[in-house]
Amino acid sequence: MATEGSINGKVRVGVVGVGIGRLHLEGYRKHPDAEIVAIADVNEDRARATAKEFGISQVYTDYEKMLQEAHLDALSVCTPNSLHAPVAIAAFQAGCSVICEKPIATSAAEGEKMVRAARDAGKIFMMGFNNRFRGDTQVLKKFIEEGALGNVYYAKTGWLRRRGIPGMGGWFTTRAMSGGGPLIDLGVHVLDLALYLMGNPKPVSAYGSTYAEFGPKMPGGENYDVEDLASGLIKFENGATVLVEASWASNIAQETSYTTLMGSLGGADLSPLRLYTEMNGEQVDIQPQHPNINGHEAEIKHFVDCVRDGKQPLATGEHGLDVIKILDAIYESAQTGKMAAIS
Ligand SMILES: NC(=O)c1ccc[n+]([C@@H]2O[C@H](COP(=O)([O-])OP(=O)(O)OC[C@H]3O[C@@H](n4cnc5c(N)ncnc54)[C@H](O)[C@@H]3O)[C@@H](O)[C@H]2O)c1
């Protein structure tokens, strides 16, 4: 896709925020049709060191200036969560397609504005749901699409850490910047996986609980105002139910991440991938082979392909919006003690 400023017909990409943004840069570096043009980070030292490592000549501390000057086709939004909406909206308005790290935003209201801005600009809006691109996820998705599980009516999904609060005292543990704790950080990944595998049914209500038994008591936890464990039960228009749980700290044996699907004809576990069904009247467990795919790299490859070819991505802004609507509802329910409706 050639644009003003493009000299070789490649997709001109930029990255805002070079924490996880480095993985985006690795992905772009490997794509023959991507050209890394510019990066922006308010931490100038970090930005300059990253630019040197990746051989990037245009380095900014102000992402708006970068959007004005760098003539980008596509942008990775890899900032703290509260900046996803302003950065992505500015990018759409500057004529860029966007891949946004998870979660889409800190609230559904912000997410809606982002989806609208992408539509108004006619640009591609992809969510950075890297786990969808893993080999085991893709193989299971194919089994499900071919009917191996029948009607998937129930799923349990979670990511629980025994101890692992990220960036204590920084943006992760400050609600105004993160939107929440492990539910919006880790739960978002596994919830999206369950929704994706179930064909993205429409959520209608959620019930949830949150706890902060560790964070506020730990060194540096004086301003800790997010949960360290959350649990939610979500109901869908098609009658399906999903149970989600996430923790940064909990008294369990060890860190665990799981997604279990139950369908009318079969069930499945991800990580490790297993299918459970019946054959010849016997219960059988199936262990499919699957390629080992780096989800982050595959996600970036897919994004560049979509921008180059003008195709809809596998993980859209609308999918990100569905997830944040559910998270909003779980947080609301945890506050009120009542079921929260999702519209
Ligand atoms: N998909 C995944 O596996 C994954 C993993 C980690 C983080 N994430 C997501 O990526 C995002 C960033 O997380 P992280 O772990 O890289 O955080 P981080 O704090 O390590 O990095 C964020 C970077 O953004 C920069 N930044 C802050 N404000 C900025 C601004 N106004 N303009 C430009 N840069 C700014 C910071 O200086 C920092 O370098 C979050 O949304 C997080 O949820 C996703």
Q: Residue 139 and residue 136: Cα distance in Å, rounded? A: 5
Nearest ligand 1 atom, CA 40: 33
In this prediction, residues 319-324 reach a mean pLDDT of 98
The residue among 208, 210, 206 whose CA lies nearest residue 195 is: 206
pLDDT band at 9 (very low <50, low <70, confident <90, very high): confident
Nearest ligand 1 atom, CA 130: 1
> Ligand 1 centre and the CA of 241: distance in Å?
32
Q: Residue 219 and residue 239: Cα distance in Å, rounded? A: 44
pLDDT at 6: 54
Which 8-state DSSP code applies to residue 66? H
101 lines ligand 1 (CB under 6 A): yes
128 lines ligand 1 (CB under 6 A): yes
Provide the token pair at 332: 């609301």
In this prediction, residues 291-308 reach a mean pLDDT of 98
**pLDDT higher than threshold 70 for residue 34:** yes
Q: Which CATH number, 3.40.50.1110, 3.40.50.620, 3.30.1330.40, 3.30.360.10, labels domain 133-293+324-341?
A: 3.30.360.10
187 lines ligand 1 (CB under 6 A): no
Nearest ligand 1 atom, CA 167: 19
Strand order in the sheet with 241-247: 282-286, 274-279, 267-270, 256-263, 152-160, 241-247, 229-236, 203-211, 340-341
49 lines ligand 1 (CB under 6 A): no
pLDDT tens digits, one per residue of 51-90: 999 999 999 999 999 999 999 999 999 999 999 999 999 9
Contact 190, 255 (CB under 8 A): no
Nearest ligand 1 atom, CA 81: 41
The two beta strands, 58-60 and 34-40, are: parallel
> Ligand 1 centre and the CA of 77: distance in Å?
8
State which of 76, 101, 193 you would mutate to test the pocket of ligand 1, scoring each by most atoms of that ligand within 8 A of its C-beta: 101
**pLDDT higher than threshold 50 for residue 2:** no
> Ligand 1 centre and the CA of 18: distance in Å?
7
**pLDDT higher than threshold 70 for residue 5:** no
Q: Residue 168 and residue 172: Cα distance in Å, rounded? A: 7
The predicted model scores a pTM of: 0.97
Provide the token pair at 78: 């890899």
In this prediction, residues 178-201 reach a mean pLDDT of 98
pLDDT band at 275 (very low <50, low <70, confident <90, very high): very high
Query: Do 11-131+297-314 and 133-293+324-341 come out as alike in CATH topology?
Result: no
pLDDT at 7: 55
> Ligand 1 centre and the CA of 242: distance in Å?
28
Q: Break the chain into its structural domains and give their ranges.
A: 11-131+297-314, 133-293+324-341
46 lines ligand 1 (CB under 6 A): yes
> Ligand 1 centre and the CA of 102: distance in Å?
10
* Class of domain 11-131+297-314 as given by CATH: alpha beta
**pLDDT higher than threshold 60 for residue 293:** yes
- Work out the mean pLDDT of the chain and round it to a whole number: 97
Distances (CA, A) of 17 to 71, 162, 204, 252: 18, 28, 34, 33
**pLDDT higher than threshold 80 for residue 4:** no
Q: Residue 104 and residue 114: Cα distance in Å, rounded? A: 8
- Pick the residue whose CA is nearest to atom 17 on ligand 1: 19
Q: Residue 156 and residue 233: Cα distance in Å, rounded? A: 9
316 lines ligand 1 (CB under 6 A): no
Contact 155, 198 (CB under 8 A): yes
Q: Residue 274 and residue 260: Cα distance in Å, rounded? A: 10
> Ligand 1 centre and the CA of 296: distance in Å?
15
pLDDT at 300: 98
pLDDT tens digits, one per residue of 96-132: 999 999 999 999 999 999 999 999 999 999 999 999 9
Amino acid at 64: E
State which of 78, 183, 188, 257 you would mutate to test the pocket of ligand 1, scoring each by most atoms of that ligand within 8 A of its C-beta: 78
> Ligand 1 centre and the CA of 236: distance in Å?
31
- Pick the residue whose CA is nearest to atom 18 on ligand 1: 19
83 lines ligand 1 (CB under 6 A): yes
pLDDT at 175: 98
Q: Which residues have CB under 8 Å from 269's CB, separation 6+? A: 258, 259, 260, 261, 276
**pLDDT higher than threshold 50 for residue 298:** yes
248 lines ligand 1 (CB under 6 A): no
314 lines ligand 1 (CB under 6 A): no
> Ligand 1 centre and the CA of 325: distance in Å?
22
Q: Residue 330 and residue 300: Cα distance in Å, rounded? A: 30
In this prediction, residues 171-182 reach a mean pLDDT of 98
